[in-house]
Structure 1
């Protein structure tokens, strides 16, 4: 399926974190005079609502399924609750955050340790400054094996992590996005020097693209982050993650709120609206310009509402399913897949994948990446299913309770987990044990302190 530019923008907005979205909207405000920030205390009327549905049948189908959905209103009380200062990050630095993501991947022990080794060698901006040829001997693996581990690291969030150059940083981010114009990839791959020097005519001549196409591609590139590590901390400056959604416990229920306070609410500048409705003798070129900007502004406003609605619906479903975790903690985390949520929310699995990318949710139990709530399950047919996180906690408890003089072997632990309804192979038990830095039974004999 070929996405129109309008749908490319919708897909891009869905993938952006709240912090990146706020930056993107500031750029749009500078580029489109028709847009302005709606200030309820100073502006008469209401913010612009949904424009008429796009003419493209694909675009109409994309939006139709959400048209009647009920979304909580934006209100003063909600904005006070969701102020960024009330929702600090967990205080972990870049390396700790990446290691936390790594632990939730289904990796062999050697893969995990190689990836963790590379994470430890990233600088505060998320760059790997050492050649793999130099790092491989220190890691005790081949350069080819380390290259494969680097691909794992580069698949973590935020996009661009683990890059070895600015060019690779930008390419990694572009390749993680849907609907990126091929010209943007070509410019970064082959014409980065011209891009840095803003030699757009040279790029147009070399690629055969029009100057306008080059400028559109450059706008996409400018939305990227050349220092992805800065999004997760690093250095001596205290940084905060901005949650995209908030979960509050109200009486005995859980309420999901979107973090509207962190994103400016856009509307149409009334002056330009009146100019567009102006008299017939008005300059036709000006009217054409304003009409184009108006259509662009209305579509952006619609995309923002769509993004907000999609995140809200997905978060609602996650909270409904993961209520046991919210009530009792990690041991009760329910196994969940992207496909499960997509089926219940009635969207494509790829939509859920894009929506949870780079997103954080503030819960009564802390701030979590939305991907945290997705985990494979273990269990007997027809019985209760346990998430990988729950299994790891149970494994920790069994080892803590063992006789220091007769520690359990991985095979014994596998049998004990099986008795609790968690069928794991000895190899999987060993992998989960190593991921938590728990020594083997022979190394634990005589006592072991976590």
Structure 2
């Protein structure tokens, strides 16, 4: 059985990935926006090359933003001046904003037009990543959960077995403390704290961000407090350094960090950065001991169509569907580390089944797919400000400027003020 590579993925016939659709008549130019080019550019470059073989008459012009929040603000501004791109890949938690404003078009009719979604690899669960209520605002392009990046050499020097690591946070904190104490210089761990990671830990404690009817927040209780106390323990018990994502990634690649916990999206970049410096491995995110039913917030992006011109809308749909096809998702996964959003890409040996067997560092997030849960999107127009409120109060705990109890109370107050008033 032949293992798929980037070259073979480009060469495989598109007919394997999606049903045939007549090619566009004449040249059509479309503008496509996506965020985080430092992560996504290699995958979009590979997909654009493959797509051009199928649809040479559709030309793609890209617009980038550094992150999802900037991308959302850009589109909201452009919507007010009728200057929207034809297709935009937005964060999964931001689709609600565009669905409620009618900026993202409902993809349901287009999906139904092309036949059985499951036969194309679009399972109900994967489609739900891009759905708000009954509105199919987007088609998922990439999904991510937080995983563990481990320097197995430092693990051994600290007296632990990388083939039999602890599976819960208590064990990982002991491991990080041992690395700091015994390895002569390297730090034990770094946790990429953010709103997404805060939500991930709340869900890991079997909590929720809001009540089912969205009448109030739900993270103010025991699960939210336990989440901030875990942040506090990371600093107190392991001397976790004050790093950001870039400096933590550099420290890990240089062998100066035992473990870091962040998105699977950077697996490819980390492999390239580490090279042969040390034994680099990935593992699922630690669980919370004694908690049943804990899940993980699913990050990533989905493509949403905003084009109004019929020809551009059809061209945008063809490109979006190709990026979400088994072939497109194979290229996306191999060039990033994100979890594919097409079941055929995962299961079919023509795509990624052999790739995951041969590249186990890409498999940690796939292994924890049963724990995946939607990245909750807060209602109303203040989603970005709510994210900032959660980040700011979490940072107070990390920087030892507030206790978990005080920070959680302030976070709850700040978020409530930003939620829409209920009549």
Given the two structures, how large is their TM-score scaled by the length of structure 1? 0.25
Please state which structure has a larger fraction of its residues in helix. 1
Decide which structure has greater strand share.
2
- More contact order relative to length (CA 8 Å, sep ≥ 6): 2
What TM-score comes out, normalization by structure 2 length? 0.26
